[in-house]
């Protein structure tokens, strides 16, 4: 379909982790691909910027643990092709009255993933910088994803395979045409396509009604909850031996009644000398990403600082850096990956999608090209029957 420069067989809307992974997969298979991005890949107004996202295997649903295993194959291949490591090993600890480490351990055991169950005292002896309050699950295969480098690597590989990247190209609508679709930007520029993959993250809620989707399909899509999450970097009391070296801090998820907190080494986002800590789904609700203001909520900051004072003695409870990012949640915390006619809707989100990016890209490319299926719980009709992923 490339008779003119404003036409492409596949158009991918959004160059975050999911969109970049899909474009890489399509282009590497020899397909004609154009990526349109409202700003630039991995920009800080989306969900895929920065150098610190958690990679972990521990899930209460074995389906997701298996999906992480599949995704790790893709991460290793991407690192090999890109020539740079993308996951820094740290290991991970899960604990808290509502986290159920024993259940998580049963699933890791079933999947053959190395792990240990520790008492709170054993865990405190190993990691005195964390005040564990329950038994702890430790699995050493976890780590920290460099999200920004992953995105730019996948986009670069896609372009090397012939894909075209159009930056500063915000999409206003996708219209049906006799030959497929016309993607229209907010400036009036157009791009014709046979197939469109929509990976718009937090902008998807406001875009849905303008995507030329059948009414019946639209009616099945659950309501999204977009949140402006807030993360804080707290300085380590004992600094790593050398700048950029990996501190002896694992990633963690601490789930207790009324609050779930996660933390991870902050990477280059804040100079390598602090732990990134955030309350999961603690940010304000937005109608879409367009409503974000980047402002920190003092009450959330106070909650997180109080948490750090009580549970993280290994850091100074005064953040030296802070930032916002977007979560785009479905009611079940599952992803949406579905296709109708020539439009594929791709929304791996709910605050835990980063680790699955290579596998989601493979599944989306299979679906868009008609050569494969996706798990039923990612289809819009199956979301209502699924449990929460966490």
pLDDT digits (tens, 9 = 90+) for 43-63: 887 888 888 999 999 999 999
Amino acid 243: pLDDT? 53
Amino acid 271: pLDDT? 86
Range 162-177 average pLDDT:
97
- Provide φ and ψ at 279, rounded to 5°: -85, 125
Amino acid 267: pLDDT? 87
- Asked if the model's pLDDT at residue 326 lies above 60, the reply is yes
Range of weakest confidence among 65-79, 308-322, 338-352: 338-352
Amino acid 384: pLDDT? 54
Range 93-108 average pLDDT:
98
Grade residue 3 by pLDDT with cuts at 50, 70 and 90: very low
Cα gap 124→30, rounded to integer Å: 52
- Asked if the model's pLDDT at residue 348 lies above 90, the reply is no
Amino acid 4: pLDDT? 43
Grade residue 2 by pLDDT with cuts at 50, 70 and 90: very low
Range 303-310 average pLDDT:
98
pLDDT tens across 228-274, in order? 999 999 999 986 555 555 458 999 999 999 999 999 999 888 888 89
Amino acid 97: pLDDT? 97
Percent of the chain with pLDDT over 70: 94
- Asked if the model's pLDDT at residue 351 lies above 60, the reply is yes
> What structural domains does the chain harbor?
7-48+149-223+331-387 (3.50.50.60), 91-143+225-329 (3.30.9.10)
Percent of the chain with pLDDT over 90: 84
Amino acid 385: pLDDT? 54
pLDDT tens across 207-225, in order? 999 999 999 999 999 889 9
Report which of 319, 322, 317 is spatially closest to residue 306, judged by C-alpha positions: 317
Q: What is the mean pLDDT of the chain?
A: 93
């Amino acid at each position: 379909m490339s008779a003119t420069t404003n036409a492409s067989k596949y158009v991918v809307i959004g160059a975050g982790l999911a969109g970049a992974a899909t474009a890489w997969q399509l282009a590497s298979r020899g397909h004609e691909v154009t990526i349109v991005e409202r700003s630039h890949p991995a920009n800080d107004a989306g969900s895929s910027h920065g150098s610190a996202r958690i990679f972990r295997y521990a899930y209460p649903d074995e389906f997701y643990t298996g999906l992480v295993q599949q995704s790790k194959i893709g991460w290793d291949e991407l690192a090999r092709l890109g020539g740079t490591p993308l996951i820094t090993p740290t290991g991970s600890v899960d604990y808290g009255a509502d986290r159920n480490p024993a259940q998580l351990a049963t699933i890791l055991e079933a999947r053959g993933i190395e792990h240990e169950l520790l008492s709170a005292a054993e865990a405190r002896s190993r990691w005195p910088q964390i005040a564990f309050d329950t038994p702890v699950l430790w699995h050493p295969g976890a780590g920290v994803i460099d999200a920004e480098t992953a995105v730019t690597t996948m986009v670069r590989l896609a372009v090397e395979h012939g894909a075209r990247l159009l930056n500063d190209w915000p999409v206003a609508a996708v219209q049906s045409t006799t030959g497929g679709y016309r993607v229209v930007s907010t400036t009036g520029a157009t791009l014709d396509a046979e197939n469109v993959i929509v990976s718009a993250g937090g902008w998807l809620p406001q875009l849905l009604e303008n995507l030329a989707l059948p009414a019946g399909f639209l009616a099945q899509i659950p309501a999204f909850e977009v949140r402006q999450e807030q993360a804080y970097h707290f300085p380590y009391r004992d600094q790593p031996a050398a700048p950029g070296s990996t501190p002896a801090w694992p990633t963690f998820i601490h789930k207790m009644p009324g609050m779930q907190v996660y933390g991870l080494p902050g990477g280059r986002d804040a100079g390598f000398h602090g732990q990134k800590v955030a309350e999961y789904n603690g940010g304000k609700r937005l109608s879409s990403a367009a409503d974000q203001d980047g402002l920190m909520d003092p009450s959330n900051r106070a909650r997180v600082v109080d948490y750090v004072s009580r549970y993280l003695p290994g850091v100074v409870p005064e953040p030296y850096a802070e930032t916002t990012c977007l979560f785009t949640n479905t009611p079940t915390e599952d992803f949406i990956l579905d296709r109708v006619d020539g439009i594929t809707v791709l929304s791996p989100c709910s605050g835990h999608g980063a680790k699955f990016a290579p596998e989601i890209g493979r599944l989306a490319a299979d679906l868009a090209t008609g050569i494969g299926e996706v798990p039923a719980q990612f289809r819009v009709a199956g979301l209502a029957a699924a449990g929460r992923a966490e």
